[in-house]
Structure 1
Amino acid sequence: MSRTLMWLEAASASKVVAEQLAQNGGVLAAIAAALAETPAPVVVTCARGSSDHAAGYLKFLLETRAGTLVASLPPSVASIYETLPRIGDGVCVAISQSGRSTDLLSTVEAMQRDKVRVIAMVNDADSPLAAMADFVVPLHAGVERSVAATKSYIATLFAGLHLTSVLAPATLPSSLLAALPQQLDQAWALDWTPLIDALADARGLYVIGRGAGLAVAAEAALKFKETCALHAEAFSAAEVRHGPMALFDADLPLLVFRQDDAAADSIDALVDIAVGQGCRVFVTGRARAGATALPVIDAPAIVQPLLQIQSFYRAANDLALRRGLDPDNPPLLRKVTVTV
């Protein structure tokens, strides 16, 4: 397949993660020290698009590993409705590639007026968002020219993982993070051709995840839309049972992001239902009767989402080309999206 910008940028994710490991230790230690002195009873995240999907992974990490409640704050609460929930000694994590979106900056300004501590996870360390934050966690993804965010998304997932490992080191050993650059390269080499073949002429699909995998399910659904002109809806493996599974039939493919954790049994049960309804189902990792298993890297469940979305990016690039599309230049979209 052609080496598009999307292909080249996604392939470099391992180098981005290695750079974060080498460069971000100091700022993460400073954040940990500040939170040890004044603990945060709640963390609010503020982001849009792929950055917001990455915020979902951070939410899962902080709630399950650090025991901290996390809520997503829509930027429009501050930018349009001109209000802000009171979070006291809480922390705002603002996530952005460009650090220039008007609504995000409005939220951070409101947080500053309320004396809320702000952590910016941002790719452009010279951006207005970085200048406003109390702590800046650079993503180190470098210039990303393809409209589809790939390496910067994985960089944001890793930034959340790295931060959580510093805040709750007993739950995330450093060896787990150190192994990721090599594992990302291995994940990039995996062959998901059966998925590409099945979706070459598809009109839509469900993308399913749960727990740590829900954030990458949402990201994959977005990439199907913007690079492949393929309508995809992301659902939790639990929430899809509350109505959406009524559409299960032979015309609805499913891509299921499965990790080997406490949610695995519920995901397997859902796969069995979908297969029984005639759906063509693709599952990352463990094979189920009637479903197609997509190869994955053997790694702890908490990092599997980073590796699985890396394999997905290569498949999405190739699927876009198979469908006669340019994944670098989706219609109506541009790299920096400014919302109010």
Structure 2
Amino acid sequence: MCGIVAAVSTDNVLPILMEGLKRLEYRGYDSAGVALVEAPGKLGRAREVGKVAALERLLTAAPLTGMAGVAHTRWATHGEPSQDNAHPHVSGRVAVVHNGIIENHQALKAELVADGYVFTSATDTEVVAHLVERELKTRGELLAAVDAVVARLEGAYALGVIDADRPDRVVGARHGSPLVVGIAEQGCYLGSDPLALLKVTDRFIYLDDGDLVEATREGCVVHALDAAGRRRPVVREVLRYEHDDMVAGKGEFEHYMLKEIHEQPVAVANALEGRLGSDRVLVEAFGPRARTLLSEARQIHLVACGTSYHAAMVARYWIESLAGVPCQVEIASEYRYRDVAAPPGTLLLTLSQSGETADTLAALRHARKCRPDRYIGALSICNVPGSSLVRESDLSLMTHAGPEIGVASTKAFTTQLTALMLVALGLRQLRGGDEELTARIVHHLRYLPTLLGDTLKLEGEIASLAKRFSDYRHTLFLGRGAQMPIAMEGALKLKEISYIHAEAYAAGELKHGPLALIDASMPVVALAPKDELLEKLKSNLQEVRARGGQLLVFADPESGLEQGDGMTVVKVPGCCRFLAPIAYTVPLQLLAYHVAVARGTDVDQPRNLAKSVTVE
């Protein structure tokens, strides 16, 4: 979603703000802007529709200078993309940037209009600017004014606020939308993602919901509500960011997405590091409560959105077949609004790349609030330490994928799958499953990074095939068993970045309706690992060929499938059937990427999409 950067420093903060905005471009946005305190009592502001580069050109022609400022990339929710609707919003001496949604903004706006305030945008954020400006008239101090305002806001928000009369500070607020504080010798910084601030610091405070922070050049003070509802200074732990800043660059690759596809062998190796014994999974490495929670689980509810939901669907096959534990997979945006019949002993397993996905967080909170007697605990699988999902879960299994910049998830997905296989094997071990099979899968897990590296060697062949797809308008993806969610993921990737309509089906469902779509203009992509469903899949493929369909099959070298009229076969390196969903993900990612390149779309920042969906 939107991105926030704010800074107060001993130097001009404009370069820091602009660098932060560039690092947040991956989140998806349609306008950008900055505001600085140029001198006591004087605010300077610049806003532009489109990319950060357009804002940069504007500032080159008319530079701003100041030692305190806020900046923002906006993804339109209230009001169309326009300069008037772009952040920061200004009211008198106050400038505000905001992520999230203020649900009661209409009532607050009516109150402010009656009080004589004039609105120049269609956003909910402008309400906040006017409210803070009004409170400043009576309270005098920015922190007190923001505190009074947030007490009246309903919804989810992260705020960065500056006051032209106080060029030595920035105030931030967090409620339901991520905000971190960066600490450095020369100043203090706020960001919606640590990645935005890695140029100036690697030390961060992750704010809790309800926190206010007052940042100055000397440091920051975090204020939280006590049990009586009063604001009190609190100490929040300062954590060192563990990822190398160099990962923020594209290196030799044309796009972040391609770079991240090629990073998957290393990312998966990182996800496995320290978690495998000689012939078993080291459950203790998951965390202090892992053995208890996994041992006591009688049913697992897997809850996620988008790509993470597809990973959860694969995990259901693994957990039920390897550990015999019943699983229920739910889309978080549905789960949070359902009266879920969770039996006693249910373990809630949530997945989110960012740890800030609004629907997944809400589902976790809903489950804890509505049926606390039925859930033994919550396990999260996530890529961002210190994120809300991690902090609110009883146990977290970090994927260690490193920052993922491309909006279409790649390495975050395969590392989620890797972590989920570790969970499935951990559940199996604690239930006394066949040790020989466990040891065999662990052996194959050790070679999984090598397998993914070998699979990446198919890129040249896939890039050539992708050119055939650039003129198609529709594509059908087929898979069986645990490959069916991978087919869904392949379809999602293709539609996300190439804008080709794509659907996925369990191959056995062809004759129940989708077969009516098959003709020469409908390409069909199928996944054919060597498993117990291969012969069934071959029959499904013959149904397609008999109706003139054009098949692209990713197949095991020993599948017996060969090139022929209407069928192109790409041989994927042979692998353990349990790990095939991870291996077969890679060629589908490469196919989507090269089709998108052939069509000339914006691969890293596809239209209408954002990296971290932090509003409902």
Report if TM-score (shorter chain) is over 0.5. Answer: yes
Q: Which SS does the other structure have where 1:301 is aligned?
A: coil
> 1:98-247 to 2 correspondence within 5 Å?
98-113=354-369, 114-115=372-373, 116=375, 117-169=377-429, 170=435, 171-173=437-439, 174-190=442-458, 191-193=461-463, 195-247=465-517
The residue identity in structure 1 corresponding to 2:266 is K
Question: Distance between the aligned counterparts of 1:242 and 1:27, measured in 2?
Answer: 45
Once the two structures are superposed, the pairs formed by residues 12-27 of structure 1 within 5 Å of their partners are 12-24=263-275, 25=282, 26-27=284-285
Paired residue type of 1:300: C
- Secondary structure of the equivalent of 2:572? coil
**Are the aligned partners of 1:162 and 1:177 in contact in 2 as well (CA < 8 Å)?**
no
In the alignment, residue 56 of structure 1 is paired with which amino acid?
A: M
Deviates most, 104-113 or 293-302? 104-113
Whether the aligned pair in 2 keeps the contact of 1:164 and 1:172 (CA below 8 Å) is: no
SS at match of 1:18: helix
1:28 aligns with 2:296: no
Secondary structure of 2:266's aligned partner: helix
Q: Residues 181-220 of structure 1: CA distance to partner in whole angstroms, max 9, x if unpaired?
A: 1111111111324531321211111000111211210110
Task: Provide the rounded CA distance (Å) in 2 between the counterparts of 1:217 and 1:327.
Answer: 20
Q: Which residue in the other structure is 1:57 paired with?
A: 314
Paired residues, number: 338
SS at 1:44 equivalent: strand
User: For residue 521 of structure 2, what is the aligned residue in structure 1?
Assistant: 251
**Alignment equivalent of 1:69, drawn from 313, 322, 326:** 326
Judging by fraction of residues, say which structure has more strand: 2
Shift of 1:23: 4.0
Contact 2:481–2:533 at 8 Å: present in 1 too? yes
Q: Which has the higher helix share?
A: 1
- Is the alpha carbon distance of 1:335 and 1:262 closer, same or farther for their aligned partners in structure 2, counting shifts above 3 Å? same
**Is the contact between residue 473 and residue 500 of structure 2 (CA under 8 Å) also seen in structure 1?**
yes
Q: Shift in Å at residue 315 of structure 1?
A: 2.5
1:313 maps to 2:589 = yes
Task: State the distance in 2 between where 1:194 and 1:271 align.
Answer: 22
SS, match of residue 154 in structure 1: helix
Task: Indicate the SS of the match to 1:302.
Answer: coil
- Is residue 255–residue 281 contact of structure 1 (8 Å, CA) maintained in 2? yes
Aligned counterpart, 2:343 = 87
For structure 2, the 5+ residue unaligned runs are: 1-251, 276-281, 430-434
Is the CA contact (8 Å cut-off) linking 1:105 and 1:129 kept in structure 2? Answer: yes
2-side partners of 1:164 and 1:182: how far apart? Answer: 22
Amino acid in the other structure paired with 2:345:
D
CA contact (8 A) 2:401 2:415 kept: yes
Deviation of 1:149 (Å): 0.4
Cα distance, 1:284 vs structure 2: 1.1
Counterpart of 2:352 in structure 1: which amino acid? S
Query: Is 2:537 the counterpart of 1:267?
Result: yes
Instruction: Determine helix, strand or coil for the equivalent of 1:335.
Output: coil
For 1:72, what is the secondary structure of its paired residue? strand
Runs of 4+ in 1 over 6 A off after TM superposition: none
Match of 2:610 in 1: 334
The aligned amino acid for 1:106 is A
Q: Aligned AA for 1:310?
A: V
* Structure 1 residues 275-315: Cα deviation after superposition (integer angstroms, max 9, x where no partner): 11110001111424432111201111221221121122223
Q: Is the 8 A contact 1:121 1:138 kept in 2?
A: yes
- Displacement after TM superposition at 1:64 (Å): 1.3
**Alpha-carbon distance between aligned partners in 1 of 2:381 and 2:305, rounded to the nearest angstrom:** 13
| CA–CA separation in structure 1 for the residues paired with 2:416 and 2:367 | 21
Between 90-99 and 283-292, report the one with greater CA deviation: 283-292
Structure 1 unaligned runs (5+)? none
TM-score, with normalisation over the residues of structure 2? Answer: 0.53
Deviation per CA, 1:4-59, whole angstroms, max 9, x where unpaired?
10000111011111111114443437566214642x22111110000000001101
Instruction: Say if 1:339 and 1:209 are closer, same or farther in 2 by CA, change over 3 A.
Output: farther
Q: State the structure with bigger RCO (CA 8 A, min sep 6), 1 or 2.
A: 1
- CA–CA distance in 1 between the matches of 2:456 and 2:425? 24
The secondary structure found in structure 1 opposite 2:520 is coil
What CA distance in whole angstroms lies between the structure 2 residues aligned with 1:338 and 1:240?
36
Q: Which moved more, 1:21-30 or 1:221-230?
A: 21-30
- Give me the CA root mean square deviation: 1.9
Name the CA shift for 1:339/1:23 in 2 (closer, same or farther; >3 Å): farther
Structure 1 residues 272-281 or 313-322, which shifts more? 313-322
CA contact (8 A) 1:207 1:255 kept: yes
Which has the larger Rg? 2
Q: Which amino acid aligns with 2:403?
A: V
Change beyond 3 A, Cα 1:37–1:147: closer
Q: Which residue of 1 aligns with 2:262?
A: 11
| Alpha-carbon offset, residue 324 of structure 1 | 1.1
Report if the CA contact (8 A) 2:293-2:347 is conserved.
no
